[in-house]
Structure 1
């Protein structure tokens, strides 16, 4: 409407010639209206930008939400499974340790029972002996003035030593080739038949002593023995199926904790006289 007023020719003149309007008293200035912009205009451009940003924001929100939803669930399950595995592993280790302790305790009880049983073995002559002759208990073998027991029970070296002591003797002390050969002949052959006897370097490495504390002189070691391969502080005799192995080269050293059969020795007793 204002544009039409401005566009009318002579509008100002028309007002100036009107008798009821005094220009000098009330000047009227023409009203200018800003011209319209061609094209879409700034509001349309802003609308497009806002719509684009909204779409980008919506996509970002959806992506973040999906990631958040998946990650805690996956991590939670993984953490739970890991904790569960750790608990199961701890329980398994505890059970293994407990079983090992029980096994050790049972083995000690077995050794104690064997030692007690040994004290109840009656001494009986192996054969009818003349008065004054030396005799050995049943299952003991006489050589010179000593009796020898080839025990097939398996014990550690130290428990074998205790067993022999409980039977009134000690692990065998072998001083001569004749004695060594006698005992060797009593041993059964096998894939690796090994028997403890009374020799150790447990006090000082490479200083071998008999169970009575005397030093070992010489001996009947296999070639390259003793070698202390894995903390081997006790001696045993080996008799295998290999015929090339001989009595006077059959000593080996081994860890004292191994469970092997053993050889006991004790003094023979004199047969009682039947004279009245």
Structure 2
């Protein structure tokens, strides 16, 4: 008789390492031909116009363009070094990534408070849901590029400047997925569980805190992962659209005006890294709050 061997839950996350390495290796293998394909055309046009690129053929010039469409690995590493050292300088990408990360975390915290409050109201009152939900949906269709300067000007009249307006704009984008996800989670208990609570003469507050809220935690953390990336985008857009003295958005705007494509790629990689760190932070918090789901 065959026996099944249970794999310890602690070893399961390691099984995800191999697919990640395969995807990373495939991306690295594809990067070089894609880089050549993207840069050969601009290099050929530059050579045809008589520009002195220090190379003779478009293929050779594809890895030496001053502002390539896709930087060669050596160019990217040089740009990464230039923008990363020293990391504490106000012009470095690591410093500005920390600034944007702080704005995003504050915005995510505000969005969580607003989203949780709205979710409770949406679940507790059908009339509130019918009257409010269309407005919430409509609020998410307004371009954030248009809202950011208006909100910054409005808050500036009351002396609110700098860090806070970016966090509020990030919260404006991030609260909606939290509200929707949490409202679905609060409705996740089935009728049998609700009837059992009524049998015990539980008050609405007890039903909320002892049944609905614990059952909604998986929905909450799924929504938080989506909201974290949305808040990051909101922070960067707010930094671009308003007067900013630091942040990845400010660096993107400056280097875009300077047409420094290598710097833009480096900053985008730092932005992607920040997004991964934020989602990982939410995942770590999920493991701490819901340890019983760690093996799933």
TM-score range, shorter chain: under 0.3
- Higher relative CO (Cα under 8 Å, sequence separation at least 6) belongs to 2
TM-score normalised over the length of structure 1? 0.27
More helix per residue: 1 or 2?
2
